[in-house]
Structure 1
Amino acid sequence: MSADQIELASPPFDSVSAVRFSPSNPDHLITSSWDTTVRFYDVATNKQKSKYDHRAAVLACCFSDGNHAYSGGLDTSVRELDLQTESVNHLGQHSDAISSINFAREQNTLITGSWDRTVRFWDPRAANSQQASHELPERVYNMDLVNHILVVAMASRLFHIYDIRKMDSPAQTRESSLKFMTRALACMADGQGYATGSVEGRIAVEYFDPSPQAQEKKYAFKCHRQAIDDVDHVWPVNALAFHPVYNTFASAGSDGTVSIWDHKSKKRLRQYQKYNAPVPSIAFNCDGTKLAVGVSYTWEEGEEGAKTAERPAVYIRTVGDEVKPKGWTASS
Structure 2
Amino acid sequence: MAAPPPFLGRPLESPPNDGISGLRFSNTSDLLLCSSWDGSVRLYDPPRSLTKGSFSQQAPVLDAAFQEDSSIFLAGLDGIVKRYDYFARAETVIGQHAAGARCVEWLPERGLVASGSWDKTLRCWDPRIPQGRNCAVVMQLPGKVFSMAQSSTRLVVATSSLHILVYDIRKLEAGLPEQERESSLRFQTRCVRCYPDGTGFAVSSVEGRVAMEYFDQSEAGQTRKYAFKCHRSSEAGTDTVHPVNSIAFHPVHGTFATGGGDGTVNVWDGANKKRLCQIQGYPTSVSAMAFSREGKYLAVASSYTWEQGEKEHPAEAIYVRHMSDAEVKPKPRI
Pair in the same fold by TM > 0.5: yes
8 Å CA contact 2:122–2:141 kept in 1: the answer is yes
Aligned pair 1:309/2:309, yes or no?
no
Distance 1:181 1:324 in 2: 30
Distance 1:53 1:154 in 2: 28
1:102 is matched with 105
Distance 2:40 2:69 in 1: 19
8 Å CA contact 1:71–1:101 kept in 2: the answer is yes
Distance 2:9 2:160 in 1: 36
RMSD over aligned CA atoms reads 1.3
Aligned pair 1:71/2:74, yes or no?
yes
134, 138, 142: which one pairs with 2:139?
134
252, 255, 266: which one pairs with 1:248?
255
Distance 1:323 1:239 in 2: 17
Aligned pair 1:8/2:15, yes or no?
no
Tell me which amino acid in the other structure corresponds to 2:36: S
8 Å CA contact 1:104–1:148 kept in 2: the answer is no
Distance 1:131 1:68 in 2: 21
1:180 is matched with 187
Aligned pair 1:325/2:322, yes or no?
no
8 Å CA contact 1:60–1:71 kept in 2: the answer is yes
Identity, % of aligned positions: 44
Distance 1:68 1:269 in 2: 35
Aligned pair 1:220/2:220, yes or no?
no
**Aligned ranges for residues 136-151 of structure 1 at < 5 Å?**
136-151=141-156
Compared CA separation, residues 297 and 246, structure 1 to 2 (3 A): same
Distance 2:71 2:142 in 1: 31
Distance 1:279 1:228 in 2: 20
26, 34, 50: which one pairs with 1:22?
26
User: Structure 1, residues 145-176: CA drift from partner, whole Å, max 9, x if none?
Assistant: 00120111010001111102223311111101
Aligned pair 1:114/2:121, yes or no?
no
User: Structure 1, residues 188-209: CA drift from partner, whole Å, max 9, x if none?
Assistant: 0000100000000000000000
Give the Å deviation of 1:89.
1.2
Tell me which amino acid in the other structure corresponds to 2:81: V
Q: Normalising to structure 2: TM-score of the pair?
A: 0.94
Compared CA separation, residues 3 and 183, structure 1 to 2 (3 A): closer
Which consecutive unaligned segments of at least 5 residues does structure 1 have?
none
Aligned pair 1:60/2:63, yes or no?
yes
2:296 is matched with 289
Distance 1:47 1:23 in 2: 18
Superposed structure 1 runs of 4+ greater than 6 Å apart: none
Helix, strand or coil for the counterpart of 1:165? helix
Aligned pair 1:152/2:170, yes or no?
no
Give the Å deviation of 1:129.
3.0
Helix, strand or coil for the counterpart of 1:166? helix
8 Å CA contact 1:23–1:64 kept in 2: the answer is no
2:237 is matched with 230
Helix, strand or coil for the counterpart of 2:221? helix
Give the Å deviation of 1:4.
7.5
User: Structure 1, residues 263-285: CA drift from partner, whole Å, max 9, x if none?
Assistant: 10000001013201000000011
8 Å CA contact 2:65–2:105 kept in 1: the answer is yes
Distance 1:3 1:60 in 2: 28
Distance 1:315 1:129 in 2: 38
User: Structure 1, residues 4-36: CA drift from partner, whole Å, max 9, x if none?
Assistant: 72100000001101011111012x111111111
Aligned pair 1:259/2:266, yes or no?
yes
Distance 2:210 2:138 in 1: 30
1:166 is matched with 171
Which consecutive unaligned segments of at least 5 residues does structure 2 have?
none
Give the Å deviation of 1:242.
0.7
Distance 2:7 2:34 in 1: 23
Distance 2:215 2:314 in 1: 40
Helix, strand or coil for the counterpart of 1:245? coil
Q: Normalising to structure 1: TM-score of the pair?
A: 0.95
Give the Å deviation of 1:37.
0.7
Give the Å deviation of 1:65.
2.0
Distance 2:60 2:88 in 1: 23
